Structure 1
Amino acid sequence: MKIVTHSGTFHADDVFASAVLRAALGDFDFIRTRDPALIAAADIVFDVGGVYEPARNRYDHHMRDLPRREDGTPYSSVGLIWRDYGRQALNHFVPEIGDDTREVVWQDIDAGLILAIDLADNGVSSACPGHLALLIEAFNPTWDSTQTFDEAFAEAAVVAHGILLRACRQAYAEAKAVSFVATAARETKDPRVIVLDRKLPWEKAVFEGGLKDLLFVIYPNEDSTSWYCRTIPPEPNSFGQRLSLPEVWRGLQEEAFSRVAGIPDGVFCHPSGFICGARSRASAIRLVEQAIAVGEQIGAI
């Protein structure tokens, strides 16, 4: 199989598109050229050639009537390649992925990393210093370098592969976490509290899963030596609380916190009242029960 993109200066979209194809298809002959004959003879062409025909594996986007997403956002070459080959690439990046999570992970990567490159490449949004697109472009040889563009592209593609690998595995882990939290929410006796048997990201499951009654999530730290009681914020990425921890607990630690909270093994309560901890699961559950009781007494629930 022969795959072609343009020669010379490269950008994030063609570098990442090549990494996606390499993950999806394995070994192939890769040529960077603007030679019309080589372009015409290729099995897949992206970011060059002036033709957008997915049925013929032609994925240029540098034309007036360029391909767009359903919302009108223009594609770059990586957006097009990810659209058609991303699911196949996921089998390489996350070999254990199943049919139940593949689409979720594909969509997560598409809406995040891939879309950001599409937007920057098409000038829809500016690439500020430190943007992934500019970091990849920095691999282009400087004017006084003896390195060829093809050599530099190969180095950038290795980095792109690593970024895609980590991003896909992170998205897969998050998809599994959403499933764990949803299961815990279904099994809980009190819809205001869920208890997790491990520390994992839970906010996405809470807000996308519509857990509107949830007030607290309980989970252990990494080595299970202590358990945290975390209040649920009113919206994602907020330190606000649907129900704050009792005022009399806040800022206390160890013995002082244990005495006021009425548990034998308290660790701390944050001064802002959004998280507290104990050394046992039973005590963490007791803390939440007390916090809810106080909330009911003062009319906060």
Structure 2
Amino acid sequence: MSAAKRVKMSGPVIGTHSGHFHADEALAVYLLRLLPEYSNSTLVRTRDPEKLAPCHTVVDVGGVYDDAAKRYDHHQREFTTTFPDHSTKLSSAGLVYMHYGKDIICTCTGLTKDSADAELLYQKLYDDFVEAFDANDNGVSAYDPNALRKAGIEKKFSDRGFSIASVVNRLNYSHPSPDPSAAQAEEDERFLKASQFCGDQFISEVMDKFHSWLPARAVVKQAFGDRFKYDDKGRIMVVPHRPEGCPWADHLYALEKETSTEGSVLYVLFAENGEADSKWRIRSVSRESGSFENRKDMPDAWKGVRDEELSKVSGVPGGVFVHASGFIGGNKTFEGVLEMAKKSADA
């Protein structure tokens, strides 16, 4: 459905501010509209208190946070609300998610609200997706800037163009019509594009977590429990092939934390496909989620080497490749990739 048509819908009216918009209210509006009761809601963008007053729900404007009154602003001086067990102050996105997130997840997935899976997804989606919106809007950096300066760490390049917030901000750029009412209509249209963009990313995250990440938890838990079959120190984990993929990293870190064995697994092995003659991969485990630094690279002599040459330098038949950075490699057989993992772990 086009943005223009959505503006004309009827339902409980949602209000937010006009003018320069940000990712947090763009996401907040989309999240509300995922709920059945808001699916046909009209959006009013204004800073006029008299026009906001009759709105059923107001986000990111008005100076009031009151769930009973459906007011979700976070700009007031006394506002300090955070998501449970987190320290990042909420934005309008986080406020809407905190109050409606579980209902939204259940609407998208069909899970029941009191299920353990719904709770797990609710927590995970805040951690992996929504909290970054809150931090960005409240000026909170992922790392302490003072600590970085003290350590003499400087950015290698600008990453401003590489975030959801940057894409949303770019939609603020315009050459408005000289006619005020046309200019406002154009601004509203750009806001709806921003809201759709943020919402598309949220939906992708929800469905990926539901269809792939959540089912993988049981698979990885079994693989983690079986790791001593392959290495007496438990440094190698073998993940079975799943057609839909098996995102293992988050679950591995969580399982290590639960069992006080952080950092114990160095390599994860998995088949390239489900065929009996599939080639196998070896993946070095990152120090932490999203990090490019590994707990232990494969040996330097293997890096960037392929095929027969790799078999020769590694002493393991069936070599296929090892990436130049040493984080991933391959072998023609499971036995071969397991031997690569053992040699790497002992190196």
Contact conserved, 2:111 with 2:117, CA < 8 A, in 1? no
Partner residue of 2:100 out of 85, 91, 94:
85
Partner residue of 2:320 out of 267, 273, 279:
267
State, as a whole percentage, how many aligned pairs show the same letter. 28
1:232-251 alignment to 2 at 5 Å?
Answer: 232-236=285-289, 237-242=291-296, 245=298
| Alignment pair present for 1:279 and 2:290 | no
- CA-CA distance at 1:80 after TM superposition: 0.4
AA aligned opposite 2:169: E
- CA-CA distance at 1:164 after TM superposition: 1.1
State the TM-score, normalizing by the size of structure 2: 0.70
- CA-CA distance at 1:13 after TM superposition: 1.8
RMSD: 3.4
Contact conserved, 1:68 with 1:74, CA < 8 A, in 2? yes
Matched residue, 1:187: 226
Matched residue, 1:196: 239
- CA-CA distance at 1:37 after TM superposition: 5.3
| Alignment pair present for 1:153 and 2:191 | yes
Partner residue of 2:81 out of 64, 68, 78:
68
Contact conserved, 2:236 with 2:268, CA < 8 A, in 1? yes
Structure 1 residues 72 and 207 mapped into 2: Cα distance closer, same or farther (>3 Å)? closer
AA aligned opposite 1:24: L
Structure 2 unaligned segments of length 5 or more: list them. Answer: 1-10, 143-157
Contact conserved, 1:231 with 1:274, CA < 8 A, in 2? yes
AA aligned opposite 2:264: D
Quick one: distance in 2 between partners of 1:77 and 1:35? Answer: 18
Quick one: distance in 2 between partners of 1:233 and 1:44? Answer: 43
- CA-CA distance at 1:59 after TM superposition: 1.3
Matched residue, 2:61: 48
Matched residue, 1:122: 138
| Alignment pair present for 1:218 and 2:269 | yes
Partner residue of 1:28 out of 10, 16, 40:
40
Structure 1 residues 248 and 12 mapped into 2: Cα distance closer, same or farther (>3 Å)? closer
Structure 1 residues 250 and 160 mapped into 2: Cα distance closer, same or farther (>3 Å)? closer
- CA-CA distance at 1:223 after TM superposition: 7.0
Matched residue, 1:174: 213
Runs of 4+ in 1 over 6 A off after TM superposition: none
SS of aligned partner of 1:5: strand
Quick one: distance in 2 between partners of 1:65 and 1:281? Answer: 59
SS of aligned partner of 2:77: coil
Quick one: distance in 2 between partners of 1:291 and 1:119? Answer: 39
| Alignment pair present for 1:8 and 2:21 | no
Contact conserved, 1:59 with 1:77, CA < 8 A, in 2? yes
Deviates more, 1:122-131 or 1:74-83: 122-131
| Alignment pair present for 1:231 and 2:284 | yes
State the TM-score, normalizing by the size of structure 1: 0.79
- CA-CA distance at 1:197 after TM superposition: 1.9
User: May I ask how many residue pairs the two structures share in their alignment?
Assistant: 293
Quick one: distance in 1 between partners of 2:117 and 2:94? Answer: 20
Structure 1 residues 122 and 241 mapped into 2: Cα distance closer, same or farther (>3 Å)? closer
In the TM superposition, what whole-angstrom CA distance separates every residue of 1:22-75 from its partner, at most 9, and x where no partner exists?
112352332314554554443322223332111232212232212421655332
Quick one: distance in 1 between partners of 2:41 and 2:53? Answer: 15
